Copies of this chain bind each other. A is one copy, B any other.
Amino acid sequence: MSRTHQCGKLTTAHIGETVTLNGWVQTRRDLGGVMFIDFRDRSGIVQIVFNPSFSGDALAIADKVRSEYVLTVTGEVVLRDKETVNANLPTGEIEVRITEIEVLNAAKTPPFFIEDGVEVDESLRLKYRYLDLRRPEMQKTLMLRSKATKIFRDFLDDEGFIDVETPILTKSSPEGARDYLVPSRVHAGEFFALPQSPQIYKQLLMVGGIERYYQIARCFRDEDLRSDRQPEFTQVDIETSFIDRDTLLNMMEQLMVRLFKETVGAELPTPFQRISHADAMSKYGSDKPDLRFGLELVELSDIVANSGAKVFASVIGNGGQVKCLNAKGCGTWSRKDIDELGTYASRYGAKGLAWVQVKDGEFKGPIVKFLSEDEIIAIKERTGAEDGDLLLFSADNSKIVADVLGALRLKIGRQLGLINDKEFKFVWVLDFPLLSYDDDQKRYIAEHHPFTRPKDEDLELFDTDPLKMRAEAYDIVLNGYEVGGGSMRIFKREIQEKMFNALGLSPEDAYDKFGYLLDAFEYGTPPHGGIAFGLDRLIMLLAGRTNLRETIAFPKTASATDLLMDAPSPVENIQLEQLHIKLSKKPGEEKKA
């Protein structure tokens, strides 16, 4: 008996038809010898009924089934009695009167209910992932993911992109995060590395004249995990030749428009807002600002540079800055509420949180007495402070000011209900710094990666002020999450050499590590650039979830373990011998320590 229909797709249009269904028993109820089963497949649930008057032998079999039994059933679709219609179920107007049943497999009582919103410890869900995946919300998310990747592919295919697979067994990359390594059996003492991204390969495909490339690519980073990171993750990897930045960004906007329309029915307005990295940091204290609401940071350094408030003046004297956030309407918050804001701010590096309440046209608060009348007037004007407002000040170096006020902005925005949960607000952040200075390594490091092209007008700064250089790099930010990023790439050998030099690599080391790329640039490399979208995170936002693991069929825990398969795990000695390696610690030794 093979399936004729899916459970969740049955409607009143099927009344009178005899259908065969395959699926799982959700629940079974015995009402005085009549058996009702909520019967489930991937598409949803339908009620099937066993009654002595039409089910014959099937009734006795139905009596023995339990939740999660796998059945094939055949019967007629009928209209339910008015009083038994279930308005909460898409198929609630009908039921199926079963005449034939086959038990395909039995089931023990599962360790948790197969239903949405169930409160189960995540580690139990991961150990029994094959049961967790039966829950409708997991199935919907995986279907959404499949659909979304299909839309990515269709769009890119339409635009002439070629899907090219690049190696997973590749070379350890000297810049970037920590690599996963794979010992070679054939070449003793040597290792492959799993790719952190297909960056070099996609650039070489551009050198190879592929012109437009994409790949939905698995990437790997052996980093300590946060809740929004996985050791292996998926990116939609895109690279093109002969294209300028704005043409690429416009094309990617159209991609997002199609994706959001065809998955969740959202109409995204275009063009997306574009903001420089410098402006994003200045106005929102973040390089991934959530622009679903305003609440911009206000620069006050010029006003309070010589203030009697020493906490302001001294910071500015030391090259720092003073900025303010006007928490509209929070002027009535209690001292306890404000203290809590201060505690929160300290997590982001604030040494204290100066504040002012506005009441009857006056500033109130501990620091007011140190401010001159002119300063108060200027601050009032610049912040638009009105009665009932609460001004929060941060005075520190620019990084801490941005971190503190950026975090407070998000917290207060949420608390004031300024954020529309249904809105998808995209913004491009442009012109990232090319380099930053790493205090530990005592050298410049690439903000994006070493292959990012500096802006033409900043090239001369390589020799004079590298930290001032801006990159042709861009991130695409959605509701405060970075969902993608990319850059135009260096395609001339001399500029790549200058970049390696700026990163502290000698010409010999640079050639040793990246010789194939430097060589490639000499054989007719076209101008090129690209972008990569973080698929897991994008799906998370599309699906309205908050946990990256919910978007992945078989995710790993925060300690990089697969609880279902129990991986990683010890291996046989013979396997290690063949790979020419020995353990320097025995399995478990780490854990005991």
- The segment from A141-149, A294-302, A337-345 found at the interface with B is A141-149
> How far does the alpha carbon of A169 sit from the alpha carbon of B149 in the complex, in Å?
21
- The segment from A237-245, A304-312, A463-471 found at the interface with B is A237-245
Chain B's nearest CB lies how many Å from the CB of A19?
14
> How far does the alpha carbon of A580 sit from the alpha carbon of B145 in the complex, in Å?
37
For chain A, the count of residues having a C-beta within 8 Å of the partner chain is 126
Interface flags for A492-518 (1: CB within 8 Å of B; 0: not) read 100000000000000000000000100
Interface flags for A560-586 (1: CB within 8 Å of B; 0: not) read 111011111111000111111111111
> How far does the alpha carbon of A569 sit from the alpha carbon of B568 in the complex, in Å?
24
Task: Answer yes or no: A89 CB below 8 A from chain B CBs.
Answer: no
Q: Is the CB of B2 within 8 A of A244?
A: yes
Chain B's nearest CB lies how many Å from the CB of A584?
5
Task: Answer yes or no: A59 CB below 8 A from chain B CBs.
Answer: no
Q: Is the CB of A580 within 8 A of B575?
A: no
Task: Answer yes or no: A449 CB below 8 A from chain B CBs.
Answer: no
Given contacts A3-B242, A184-B568, contact A527 B105 (CB under 8 A): yes
Task: Answer yes or no: A323 CB below 8 A from chain B CBs.
Answer: no
> Could you tell me which residues of chain A, from 29 to 64, have a CB within 8 Å of some CB in chain B?
40-42
Q: Is the CB of A208 within 8 A of B134?
A: yes
> How far does the alpha carbon of A194 sit from the alpha carbon of B165 in the complex, in Å?
17
- Which residues of chain B come closer than 8 Å to A191, judged between CB atoms? 568-571
Interface flags for A131-144 (1: CB within 8 Å of B; 0: not) read 11110001100110
> How far does the alpha carbon of A580 sit from the alpha carbon of B593 in the complex, in Å?
14
Q: Is the CB of B163 within 8 A of A149?
A: yes
Task: Answer yes or no: A258 CB below 8 A from chain B CBs.
Answer: no
Most buried by B among A169, A188, A524, A562: A524
- Which residues of chain B come closer than 8 Å to A487, judged between CB atoms? none
Task: Answer yes or no: A104 CB below 8 A from chain B CBs.
Answer: yes
Q: Is the CB of B241 within 8 A of A134?
A: no
Q: Is the CB of A569 within 8 A of B172?
A: yes
Interface flags for A147-184 (1: CB within 8 Å of B; 0: not) read 00110010001000011111111111000001111111
> How far does the alpha carbon of A165 sit from the alpha carbon of B150 in the complex, in Å?
13
- Which residues of chain B come closer than 8 Å to A565, judged between CB atoms? 170-171, 200, 516
Task: Answer yes or no: A370 CB below 8 A from chain B CBs.
Answer: no
Chain B's nearest CB lies how many Å from the CB of A172?
5
- Which residues of chain B come closer than 8 Å to A257, judged between CB atoms? none
Task: Answer yes or no: A222 CB below 8 A from chain B CBs.
Answer: yes
Q: Which of B516, B559, B562 touches A167 (beta carbons < 8 Å)?
A: B562
Task: Answer yes or no: A130 CB below 8 A from chain B CBs.
Answer: yes
Q: Is the CB of A591 within 8 A of B187?
A: yes
Q: Is the CB of A108 within 8 A of B590?
A: no
Q: Is the CB of B587 within 8 A of A204?
A: no
Interface flags for A92-111 (1: CB within 8 Å of B; 0: not) read 00000000000011111010
- Which residues of chain B come closer than 8 Å to A128, judged between CB atoms? 523
Most buried by B among A138, A139, A231, A570: A231
Q: Which of B134, B185, B560, B571 touches A186 (beta carbons < 8 Å)?
A: B560
Chain B's nearest CB lies how many Å from the CB of A338?
41
Q: Is the CB of A570 within 8 A of B182?
A: no
Interface flags for A1-45 (1: CB within 8 Å of B; 0: not) read 011000000000000000000101000000000000000111000
Q: Is the CB of A218 within 8 A of B567?
A: no
Task: Answer yes or no: A589 CB below 8 A from chain B CBs.
Answer: yes
- Which residues of chain B come closer than 8 Å to A184, judged between CB atoms? 560, 568
- Which residues of chain B come closer than 8 Å to A521, judged between CB atoms? 105
A-B contact pairs, 25 of them (CB 8 A): A2-B243, A41-B209, A105-B525, A107-B524, A128-B523, A133-B205, A133-B208, A142-B162, A146-B157, A167-B556, A168-B220, A171-B562, A172-B569, A178-B578, A181-B579, A185-B222, A186-B590, A188-B586, A188-B589, A188-B591, A189-B586, A516-B565, A580-B585, A581-B583, A582-B584
Apart from A24-B526, A149-B163, A191-B570, 19 more pairs, CB < 8 Å = A24-B209, A72-B242, A104-B526, A105-B524, A106-B524, A107-B522, A108-B522, A130-B205, A138-B208, A167-B232, A171-B568, A178-B185, A180-B192, A181-B571, A182-B568, A186-B590, A189-B583, A580-B584, A581-B583
